[in-house]
Amino acid sequence: MMVFVLGFISQMLFFTRTLLQWILSERAQKVLSPTIYWVLSIIASYLFCIYGWLRNDFSILLGQIISYYIYIWNLNENGVWPKINIALKALLILTPILAIGFVLKNGNYFVTNFLSNNKIPLWLVIFGSLGQIIFTLRFVYQWIYSMRRKESLLPVGFWIISLVGSGIIATYGLIRLDPILILGQSVGFIAYTRNIVLYRKELKAI
């Protein structure tokens, strides 16, 4: 039960970041990349990594580890990262690295509990991982797009990729009967779609 509570808290933080971004964008009538979005992202991602580990869910871990450091980059671009305590910075930076190191050092444990988990068929692990990879690629795209423009932005491609990846993850959650994944992905559809609509309005106004 406590594992699901942890997962629920992380998903609520993910949902809150999306909701706040949506509200702020609606007020401005254009798509924004607010600092609070990235602050909540790193907190939620940290907790969700722990949830995925406790659930022996490789696809969740894969998705979080890939996007984790992009959140930190965006925090730095928004001027938040330099203000964080050194000890907390070290904790945030090292935790995923230590997790990866544990996986590499304990290969048999990894294969047994993640890729060969009797509760999750291999095809489902691959399917879920595909959804997480696509969903995470939105942040890779966002990072490349923002790097080229030297500021933290959330472009329209980010939201399109979000819709595709979210659909696969929601399906994976339904198959696994995982209420945390189902809840987390379902509520995002509205915000993703709305941001695409706002982008279209911006283009028409130009």
Q: What does each C-alpha distance from 189 to 11, 78, 144, 170 come to in angstroms?
A: 14, 26, 24, 10
Please check whether residue 67 is in contact with residue 37, taking contact to mean a CB–CB distance below 8 angstroms: no
pLDDT of 146 reads 95
Please check whether residue 3 is in contact with residue 51, taking contact to mean a CB–CB distance below 8 angstroms: yes
Amino acid letter, residue 64 = Q
Rounded distance, CA 147 to CA 156, Å? 16
Joined together, the tokens standing for residue 115 give: 């890729």
Q: What does each C-alpha distance from 167 to 98, 172, 182 come to in angstroms?
A: 31, 9, 10
- pLDDT tens by residue, the chain, 206 residues: 788 888 889 888 988 998 899 999 999 988 899 999 999 999 999 988 888 777 766 667 766 777 889 999 999 999 999 999 999 999 988 887 777 676 566 656 656 655 556 667 778 877 887 887 888 889 999 999 999 998 999 999 999 999 998 888 888 888 878 777 777 777 788 889 889 998 888 777 66
Residues 50-66 as b/e (b if ≥16 CB within 10 A, e otherwise) read: bbbbebebbbbbbbbbb
Q: What does each C-alpha distance from 173 to 74, 132, 165, 179, 205 come to in angstroms?
A: 28, 12, 12, 7, 39
Q: Residue 153: exposed, middle, or buried by beta-carbon count in 10 A (0-12, 13-18, 19+)?
A: middle
pTM: predicted TM-score of the whole model, two decimal places: 0.80
- Closest to 168 (Cα-Cα) out of 137, 201, 142: 137
Please check whether residue 51 is in contact with residue 14, taking contact to mean a CB–CB distance below 8 angstroms: no
Instruction: Give residue limits of the domains in the chain.
Output: 2-205
